[in-house]
Structure 1
Amino acid sequence: MLASTLMLIALLCAGVLIQVPYSEMTPGPTVNTLGDHDGEPVLHISGHKTYPTTGHLNMTTVRVTSADYNMNLVQAVYGWLAHDSKIVPHETLYPDGQTEEQSTQENAEEFSQSQESAKVAALKELDIPVKSWVIVESVLKNSPAVGRLHAGDVIKAVDGTSVKQPQDVAELVTKHKPGENVVFTVVPAKEQAAAEKDGKEATRTQQVTIITKKADDGDRAIVGIQAGTDHTFPFTVDIKLADVGGPSAGLMFALGIYDKLTPGSLTGGTFVAGTGTIDDSGTVGPIGGIQMKTVGARAKGAQYFLTPKDNCAAAARDVPEGLTLVKVDTIDDALNSLEDIREGKTADLPRCATKG
C-alpha cells in the first residue's frame, strides 16, 4: 500500500511538472443585446424611432487561457473529463506563435468589423438605405503600396474600371504581371473623413500608380493591400460592450438592432441566445467554441439557441438539457425561427442534428 501511495504521489508530481502544448476553453459571459451592461445599453440608437423590447437575445462568449499560459498534464486530463471545458491544441487558439497582444488586437478588429456588418445586415433587412464604398483596409509592410496608399483611402477605380466590392480590387490587380504598373483612383482618407464630418460626399480624386510585385505564394501580381468596405449610416447605432472580441456576436447584434427598430418583440418574452458571424448581406457564418457557448447560455437560462448551420453537428453532440438548438444560415432564417418561437410553433423549428 505504501509503495502504491508513493507511486501515485510520484505520478501526480510528474503530471504537475510535465507541460503539454494545449489550451483550455470555458464558457464566458453571455449578455442580452436588448438590455444593459455595466450600467448602459448594449445597443444605443439615436436619430430614428425605436420601440420597447422584452425577452432576451443574448450573445455568448468563450473564455480561453492566455497565449503564455503553460498547461500541465494534470490540468489537461481534468479539462478533458470536465463537461464545461474543452482542451484544444495551443496552436488552434494562437496559430504561428501568435502573442497575447497580437491575439487581442486581431479580436478587437474582428469585433469592430462584426459590429459594422451587423448594422448593415439589420438595416438592409428593414430596407433602410446604407451607403457603402470600397476602402484600403490595411497596407502590408514592405509592400509596393507603402507610402502610396493608406488605410481609409476610398478606392473608386483600378485602371479606370470602377470597383463595387473589395474582391474587385484583387481581380483587377491580378490581371497584371509582376513588375507592371497599376493605377488606383482614390479619395484620400483625410478628405473622406472631412466630407463625412460635414455630411457631404467627397468628390476630389487622385490617381496613384504602383508597380506590382510577385506574391510570395505564387506568380500572381500584388500591390500589398487588403481591401475592405466602409459605410455611412442614416442614423447612429452604437454598440457598447467592453472586454469582448472576435466576430461571433454579429448575428445577435443584428437581431437586437432589428428588434429595437420594429414594433413588438422578436422573442415574445422568451430567453433566446445564439452566436454566429454575419456579413453585410445577412449570411451567418460558423464560429469556434460552440459547445462552451451552449453550456454558458443554458446556465443563464436560455431556452433556445440560434446556431450557425455549419456548427450544428458539433453542437448537437452534447446539448445541455432544456436547450433547443435552432439551425440558421441567414438573418432571415433567424427571424423566421423567432416568429415560430413567439407564436408557439416550436415543432416547426429547424433543429440541429449530429448529421446533415
Structure 2
Amino acid sequence: MPRRTATMLASTLMLIALLCAGVFINVPYSEMSPGPTVNTLGEHDGEPVLQISGRKTYATTGHLNMTTVRVTSADYKMNLVEAVYGWLAHDNKVVPHDTLYPNGKTEEQSTQENAEEFSQSQESAKVAALKELDIPVKSWVIVSTVVKDTPAEGRLHAGDVIKAVDGTTVKAPDDVAKLVTKHKPGEKVVFTIVPAKEQAAAEKENRTATRTEEITITTAKSEDTGEQRAIVGISAGTDHTLPFTIDIKLADVGGPSAGLMFALGIVDKLTPGNLTGGKFVAGTGTITDDGEVGPIGGIEMKTVGARDKGAQYFLTPKDNCAAAARDVPEGLTLVKVGTIDDAMSALKDIRGGKTADLPKCTRN
C-alpha cells in the first residue's frame, strides 16, 4: 500500500475513532436555542391569549409578541460532539449545566419554579398595565411564604394580610422586615393580620375584610453571614384586587420574562386604536407592579426567534442591550426600554414612523 494512501487511511480511521469516542463522552453542558414566539394580541391553541371581561375592549392589529428560549432538560446528557456542534452553531448557545440548573436542581423543581415566576409575572403585568392607564387597583401587603422550622410556622400563613407590625401600619412589603429587625433576637413582635380565609371570603363577597387578629411571635436569630438580626421566618409580598377580570391563557410557558409584553397587550386591548400601527413588534423583559422592566436570560436566542417569525422591532430591557447588540439579526431593530413608559413611547414612535427617534441598543 502506498505511503500516502496508508497515511490517509490511518487519519480517516483516527477521525472516526475520535468521533465515536466523542459520542460516548458526556460533558457538563446544556444547550439554549430560540423558542416559540406568541402574539399577545392574537390566539394560541384556538383561544385568545388575553381575555378581558367586565370592561370595554377594542380590536387590535399588528403583533406584540412575547418570546421564549428552549433549553435541554435537567437530566439530558450532552456528549462532546453535540457540545462542539452547539459551540459552532450560530443560533444555539452551549452553557455550563449549572447555569440552567444550579445546585443540582431537578427538572421538576425547575418547572415548578418557572411556573410560579410565570404566574407572578402575569399578575404584575396586569397591575402595571392598569396603573399605566390610571385605572385604580386595590393593593395590600401579605405573607408570601413561611419558612419551615421558624417562629412564624403555624402562626402566620401564606395569604394573611399584614395590616401592622407592633401597631405601625404596613404600607409596603419592605416595611415588614424593617419593623421586625428593630427587635433583638428573642424579643416579641406583634403582627396585626387579616387571616387569609377571611380575606378570600371578603373578596368573593366583594366587601372589605374587617376582622383582624393580633399574633405575637418571639423572634429568632438570623443564620446568614454578617451581623445577626431578628427574624420571624416569613417573606412579605403584595396582593391585588382588579376592578375587572383579566385572564392570560398561555400554557407550557414558564419564567417571568413575558411580563412586559403581556402588560403592553393588555393596554392595547383596553384602549382605542392600536399601539403598533400594524407593525410586527416583539420583545421581552420582566415587569414590576410599578412598571419597571428587568433583564432576562437568553436574549440572543430571543432576538433570533423573533426575527425568524418576522419581527421588525424588538423591545429590549436596557440591562440586556449590550449583549443583544453584539449580534443583531439582520432587519431587526433593538429598542432599549427600562419602564413600561419607555415602551409606550417607543411604540408611539414606531406607529408614527419616527424610527430615527427610537432609543436603540448599542454594544456599550
Residue matched to 1:253: 262
Residue matched to 2:176: 169
Residue matched to 2:39: 32
* Identity percentage of aligned residues: 83
Offset of residue 222 of structure 1: 1.1
SS in 2 for 1:266: coil
Are 1:286 and 2:298 an aligned pair? Answer: no
Residue matched to 2:237: 228
- Kindly report structure 1 stretches of 4+ aligned residues shifted beyond 4 Å: none
Tell me how many residue pairs correspond in the alignment. 355
Correspondence list, 1:324-335, <5 A: 324-335=333-344
Correspondence list, 1:124-203, <5 A: 124-203=131-210
How far apart are the structure 1 equivalents of 2:222 and 2:65?
A: 43
How far apart are the structure 2 equivalents of 1:340 and 1:286?
A: 23
**Which entry has the higher C-alpha Rg, 1 or 2?**
2
How far apart are the structure 2 equivalents of 1:151 and 1:139?
A: 7
How far apart are the structure 2 equivalents of 1:244 and 1:80?
A: 26
1:7 to 9, 14, 18: 14
2:104 to 88, 97, 101: 97
Residue matched to 1:350: 359
Residue matched to 2:321: 312
Larger deviation, residues 12-21 vs 238-247: 12-21
Residue matched to 1:80: 87
Offset of residue 162 of structure 1: 0.9
Larger deviation, residues 220-229 vs 329-338: 220-229
Residue matched to 1:112: 119
- Alpha-carbon RMSD across the aligned residues, in angstroms, is 0.7
Offset of residue 318 of structure 1: 0.7
SS in 2 for 1:145: coil
Q: Give the partner amino acid of 2:213.
A: Q
Structure 1 residues 252-311: Cα deviation after superposition (integer angstroms, max 9, x where no partner): 000000000000010000000000000011010000000000000000000000000000
Are 1:268 and 2:271 an aligned pair? Answer: no
Are 1:322 and 2:342 an aligned pair? Answer: no
Offset of residue 244 of structure 1: 0.4
Offset of residue 99 of structure 1: 0.8
Are 1:61 and 2:74 an aligned pair? Answer: no
Offset of residue 171 of structure 1: 1.0
How far apart are the structure 2 equivalents of 1:105 and 1:144?
A: 26
Structure 1 residues 81-136: Cα deviation after superposition (integer angstroms, max 9, x where no partner): 11111111111111111111111111111111101110111100111000000111
Instruction: Tell me the TM-score normalized by structure 1.
Output: 0.99
Structure 1 residues 21-50: Cα deviation after superposition (integer angstroms, max 9, x where no partner): 111111111000000100111000000111
Residue matched to 2:59: 52
Q: Give the partner amino acid of 2:44.
A: H
Q: Give the partner amino acid of 1:263.
A: P
How far apart are the structure 2 equivalents of 1:58 and 1:102?
A: 27
SS in 2 for 1:28: strand
Offset of residue 223 of structure 1: 1.0
How far apart are the structure 2 equivalents of 1:186 and 1:12?
A: 65
How far apart are the structure 1 equivalents of 2:280 and 2:174?
A: 39
Residue matched to 2:247: 238
Instruction: Tell me the TM-score normalized by structure 2.
Output: 0.96
Structure 1 residues 204-253: Cα deviation after superposition (integer angstroms, max 9, x where no partner): 10011111111121311111111111000000000110000100000000
How far apart are the structure 2 equivalents of 1:83 and 1:153?
A: 49
SS in 1 for 2:197: helix
Q: Which runs of 5+ in 2 are unaligned?
A: 1-7
How far apart are the structure 2 equivalents of 1:335 and 1:105?
A: 32
Residue matched to 1:301: 310
Q: Give the partner amino acid of 1:320.
A: P
Residue matched to 1:23: 30
1:214 to 209, 221, 243: 221
Q: Give the partner amino acid of 2:292.
A: T
Q: Give the partner amino acid of 2:158.
A: A
